[in-house]
Amino acid sequence: MDRMLQKKVLPRLDESLLTHLPPFSRLERRQIRTILDQATSRRYDQGVAIFDEGAQADRFYMLLDGYVRVVRITPTGEQVTSLHIPAGQLLGIAKAIGRDSYPATALTATESIVLSWPTRLWETFVREYDGFATETYKTLGHRVGEMNTRIVELATQQVEQRVANALLRLINQTGRKVEGGIEIDFPITRQDLSELTATTLHTVSRLLSGWEKRGLVESKRKRIKVTNPHALVVLSQG
């Protein structure tokens, strides 16, 4: 299906949708109304690219609802998941890192609602809206920190530690309490987890199967539930 057919334009949104989000939390409602009136709002189906790596960064985005996977393509054509972004965060902010093109692809991990603005408005937002710049760069700092942590893990940790750490990060960022544990709040496959930890599908499958037998996790139908977080913490520390 053509991607444009999978983007559904939403009706006029209320200012309350942005009042609690860090980039806009210091603003008056009239300022938020001005921001929303300049935005395009769309609903994306699961598995749709909001923007593609290398494309001209002509818009920047705010994820209102859902989850997004940030994906890079290696020179050999392999797909690598570098980050998961939860609702309430900006994405596609190439301008903030001095780029004219998107450094990665943003794929919806669930059905998602997204706001977007033309990149030409970036400087205006930074200049006129208190807290927009500081909160945006704080978000960038968190993401850079997470990426650095993963680089250290890849260089120094065994596969079991890396997978345990990845699951702990995901339940910390997106987990929801359910009966018997904490579930990652979006569909995630064993292939996704292997990309996130730079290991093979076979290895991730073997580890998860072993952890299931020990009562640490439950994995079925693209859902992973951590049933013993403390045990995973112990594994993550080697």
User: Using an 8 Å Cβ cutoff, are 104 and 53 in contact?
Assistant: yes
Question: What sign has the CA pseudo-torsion 109, 210, 165, 94?
Answer: negative
Q: So what's the pLDDT on residue 11?
A: 62
**This prediction's pTM:** 0.79
User: How would you classify the pairing of strands 90-91 and 175-178?
Assistant: unpaired
Q: So what's the pLDDT on residue 2?
A: 40
Question: What sign has the CA pseudo-torsion 151, 157, 162, 164?
Answer: negative
Q: So what's the pLDDT on residue 143?
A: 83
Q: So what's the pLDDT on residue 6?
A: 44
User: Using an 8 Å Cβ cutoff, are 93 and 125 in contact?
Assistant: no
DSSP symbol at 57: -
Q: What's the average pLDDT block by block, 10 residues per block, for the chain (238 residues)?
A: 46 80 87 91 94 96 94 81 88 91 94 95 90 84 82 84 93 90 91 88 94 93 92 90
Dihedral-angle region of residue 145 (phi above 0 means left; psi in -120 to 50 means alpha; beta otherwise): alpha
**Rounded to 5 degrees, what angle do the CA atoms 229, 233, 236 make?**
135
Q: So what's the pLDDT on residue 10?
A: 57
- Long-range Cβ pairs for the range 149-152 (8 Å, 24+): 150/82
Q: Using CB atoms within 10 Å of the CB of residue 191, give its burial: 0 to 12 exposed, 13 to 18 middle, 19+ buried.
A: middle
User: Using an 8 Å Cβ cutoff, are 89 and 28 in contact?
Assistant: no
* Whole-angstrom distance, CA of residue 91 vs CA of residue 113: 13
Q: How many CB atoms lie within 10 A of CB 144?
A: 11
